[in-house]
């Protein structure tokens, strides 16, 4: 699969529904480049980096994680450069790292989630690591004529939700923030969703990028979210 272009400095490697792989984004500053999410396995990272190379783009200096779910983090051990995550994301990953040593838990994951089973078929090894850089509220990266404003936000999907806003390009990356909570029987917390809608409305952005779908305009996303 090929890397797709939002503009000259923002790219993404499309999501892959068969194994629940989220899209991986790439922000190219003059000095540093930033990837958004680490993918669901080492193989996912390798594919992404190959697609970057084909466009003569260097490997990312930083990779920021939108939330702890396996499909966004289990490739983290394979990334080039430094990883960045919210304190809570790191806590969740620490717990998962201990739990995964238990074969019964690993088997449960493989059976429970068909996509996980497919990605890790033939006993491929699951490796979980925590991030190099941790933060609580927000973090701003100067990538060189390009800023990444990374911040924690309230969301119905997970408590450790992190959004990334690129003001120069008017793009907001939301990970899975607008989805329901799969770890709470798919519960959609309407209050949290409303808080998130307010935040999106206030953000000066043209595009809103979710992990498991094609890029959307802000208008289209808000129209959809208000129908929930």
By CB under 5 A, name the binding residues for Zn ion. Answer: 69, 176
d(CA 64, CA 214): 20
Sign of CA dihedral 149, 152, 100, 119: negative
d(CA 191, CA 22): 26
Residue with structure tokens 């990883």? 83
- For residue 161, which of 151, 171, 172 has the smallest C-alpha distance? 151
Cβ of residue 222: shortest distance to Zn ion, in angstroms? 21
Cβ of residue 14: shortest distance to Zn ion, in angstroms? 17
**Is residue 209 a contact partner of residue 221, using CB atoms and an 8 Å limit?**
no
Cβ of residue 56: shortest distance to Zn ion, in angstroms? 31
Supply 102's token pair: 């238990």
Residue with structure tokens 């509220």? 137
Which of residues 150 and 210 has its CB atom nearest to Zn ion in the complex? 210
Which of residues 33 and 158 has its CB atom nearest to Zn ion in the complex? 158
Which of residues 96 and 176 has its CB atom nearest to Zn ion in the complex? 176
Cβ of residue 69: shortest distance to Zn ion, in angstroms? 4
Which of residues 20 and 169 has its CB atom nearest to Zn ion in the complex? 20
Other CB atoms within 10 A of residue 190 CB: 10
Cβ of residue 23: shortest distance to Zn ion, in angstroms? 13
Which of residues 9 and 69 has its CB atom nearest to Zn ion in the complex? 69
Instruction: Using only the alpha carbons of the chain, give its radius of gyration.
Output: 17
């Amino acid at each position: 699969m090929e890397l797709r272009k939002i503009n000259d400095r923002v790219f993404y490697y499309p999501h892959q529904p068969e194994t629940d792989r989220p899209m991986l984004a790439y922000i190219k500053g003059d000095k540093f480049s930033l990837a958004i999410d680490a993918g669901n396995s080492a193989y996912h990272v390798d594919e992404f980096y190959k697609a970057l190379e084909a466009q003569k783009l260097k490997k990312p200096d930083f990779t920021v994680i939108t939330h702890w779910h396996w499909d966004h983090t289990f490739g983290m051990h394979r990334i080039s450069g430094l990883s960045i995550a919210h304190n809570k994301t790191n806590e969740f990953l620490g717990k998962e790292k201990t739990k995964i040593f238990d074969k019964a838990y690993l088997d449960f994951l493989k059976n429970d989630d068909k996509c996980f089973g497919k990605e890790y078929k033939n006993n491929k090894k699951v490796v979980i690591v925590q991030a190099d850089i941790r933060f609580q509220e927000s973090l701003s990266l100067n990538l060189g004529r390009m800023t990444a404003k990374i911040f924690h936000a309230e969301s119905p999907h997970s408590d450790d939700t992190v959004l990334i806003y690129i003001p120069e390009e008017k793009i907001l990356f939301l990970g899975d923030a607008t989805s329901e909570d799969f770890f709470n029987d798919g519960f959609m917390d309407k209050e949290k969703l409303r808080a998130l809608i307010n935040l999106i409305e206030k953000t000066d952005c043209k595009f809103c990028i979710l992990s498991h779908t094609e890029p959307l305009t802000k208008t289209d996303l808000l129209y959809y979210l208000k129908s929930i």
